[in-house]
């Protein structure tokens, strides 16, 4: 009778190793594709929120205040004015009527983390969030002062934690932003610990929220300034004024 020879344990181990390597090689590109899709979806969502804020301003003559924890996605205070958390709040999804939102009423990014929102409060006058505030002050006298910084230097922000004097250390992407809308990226649940990422208000921030924010392309932990995956959009005052003029809210 002919004997039938089976696979040895060594041969089976080699086959399993090859299969594992093939599966691992497939999973890595799939993970990268999912991350890229989440980034694209979040960027689209931020752009839509930017437009929603312009629409709200055109209808109400002001920008909404940020929402805070426990506000159910409604601006705080209701009706605007002196914002409870101008630099460290969340997007007021209920006030703007935007979705999707989580159980706390905050609009979320593609990683299901709340999107953050900051608004200028020049010298604590809150002209941009007060009814008729911009019209009363007039365009020439309005001075929006949110800073957007490129980071990637040893100390990216001067006077960090100071709401009125925090500024970019070196070049600036903007020194007159009216509002900043941003996602904390895929690590939004824990926040980033790098010098760049930890400055934007997140779970690992070491300083109080101020008027300066950091924005640059995604970088790994080995990059100068460390890991960064926040997605940041800001509003130009000229874009806002143009929309308000067209809507008859200014001058």
**DSSP 3-state of 99:** coil
CA 151 – CA 215 distance, rounded (Å):
7
- Domain count for the chain: 1
197 part of a folded domain: yes
251 part of a folded domain: no
Residue 27: per-residue pLDDT: 56
Residue 29: per-residue pLDDT: 61
What residues make up the domain containing 128? 9-246
204 part of a folded domain: yes
The strand pairing partners of 234, in sequence order, are: 180
105 part of a folded domain: yes
60 part of a folded domain: yes
1 part of a folded domain: no
Beta strands of the chain (E only): which ranges?
A: 89-90, 116-119, 146-149, 157-158, 167-168, 174-177, 179-183, 212-214, 231-235
235 part of a folded domain: yes
Contact 163, 87 (CB under 8 A): yes
The strand pairing partners of 231, in sequence order, are: 183
Which residue matches tokens 């950091």? 214
2 part of a folded domain: no
For residue 21, give both structure tokens.
Answer: 């390597």
Residue 18: per-residue pLDDT: 75
pLDDT in tens, the chain (251 residues): 555 555 676 767 777 777 776 666 655 566 677 888 989 999 999 999 999 999 999 999 999 999 999 999 999 999 999 999 999 999 999 999 998 999 999 999 999 999 999 999 987 889 999 999 999 999 999 999 999 999 888 889 999 999 999 999 989 999 999 999 999 998 888 888 888 988 999 888 888 999 999 999 988 888 887 889 999 999 999 999 999 999 999 98
């Amino acid at each position: 009778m002919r004997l039938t020879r089976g696979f040895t344990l060594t041969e089976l181990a080699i086959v399993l190793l090859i299969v594992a390597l093939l599966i691992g090689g497939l999973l890595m590109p799939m993970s990268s594709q999912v991350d890229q899709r989440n980034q694209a979806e979040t960027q689209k969502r931020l752009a839509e929120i930017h437009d929603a804020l312009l629409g709200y301003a055109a209808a109400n003559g002001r920008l909404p205040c940020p929402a805070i924890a426990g506000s159910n996605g409604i601006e705080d205070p209701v009706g605007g004015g002196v914002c409870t958390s101008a630099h460290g709040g969340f997007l007021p999804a209920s006030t703007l009527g935007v979705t999707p939102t989580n159980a706390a009423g905050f609009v979320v990014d593609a990683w299901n983390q709340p999107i953050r929102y900051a608004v200028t409060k020049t010298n604590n006058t809150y002209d941009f969030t007060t009814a008729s505030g911009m019209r009363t002050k007039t365009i020439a006298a309005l001075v929006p002062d949110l800073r957007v910084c490129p980071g990637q230097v040893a100390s990216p922000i001067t006077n960090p934690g100071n709401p009125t004097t925090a500024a970019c250390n070196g070049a600036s992407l903007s020194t007159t932003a009216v509002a900043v809308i941003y996602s904390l990226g895929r690590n939004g649940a824990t926040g980033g610990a790098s010098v760049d990422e930890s400055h934007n208000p997140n779970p690992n921030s070491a300083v109080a929220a101020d008027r300066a924010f950091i924005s640059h392309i995604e970088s790994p932990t080995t990059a100068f300034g460390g890991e960064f995956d926040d997605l940041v959009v800001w509003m130009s005052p000229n874009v806002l004024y143009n929309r308000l003029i067209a809507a008859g809210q200014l001058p």
